[in-house]
């Protein structure tokens, strides 16, 4: 669900995911994309995909980082899994 929000409303998707600075950057990127699209008289509408791509990639990376952090915390609390060798 967060990915759908990140595609259609990128700054809001980033805010919901807990990334306020990325949301501000994305809002600036979105405004720049709209201006460039209007200035080129819709010659390059693909520019409008840049903020959505930024939001989706940022949400994915943050979620992967959270998963990784949870695994590391569990290993630190409970020790390595059985059968693990150094």
pLDDT tens for 40-79 read: 887 777 888 999 999 999 999 999 999 999 999 999 999 8
With pLDDT > 90 as the criterion, what percentage of the chain qualifies?
Answer: 72
- Give the Å distances, CA to CA, from 76 to 32, 64, 65, 67: 44, 18, 16, 14
Task: Report if pTM > 0.85.
Answer: no
Both structure tokens of 31: 């405004």
pLDDT of residue 43: 79
Question: How does the average pLDDT of the chain come out, rounded?
Answer: 92
Per-residue pLDDT for 86 more than 70?
no
Choose between 48 and 24: higher pLDDT: 24
pLDDT of residue 42: 77
Mean pLDDT of 9-31: 95
């Amino acid at each position: 669900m967060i990915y759908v929000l990140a595609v259609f409303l990128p700054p809001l998707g980033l805010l919901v995911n807990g990334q306020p600075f990325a949301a501000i950057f994305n809002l600036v990127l979105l405004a720049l994309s709209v201006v460039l699209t209007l200035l080129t008289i819709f010659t390059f509408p693909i520019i409008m995909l840049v903020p959505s791509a930024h939001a989706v990639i940022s949400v994915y990376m943050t979620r992967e980082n959270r998963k990784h952090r949870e695994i590391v915390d569990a290993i630190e609390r409970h020790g390595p899994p059985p059968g693990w060798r150094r």
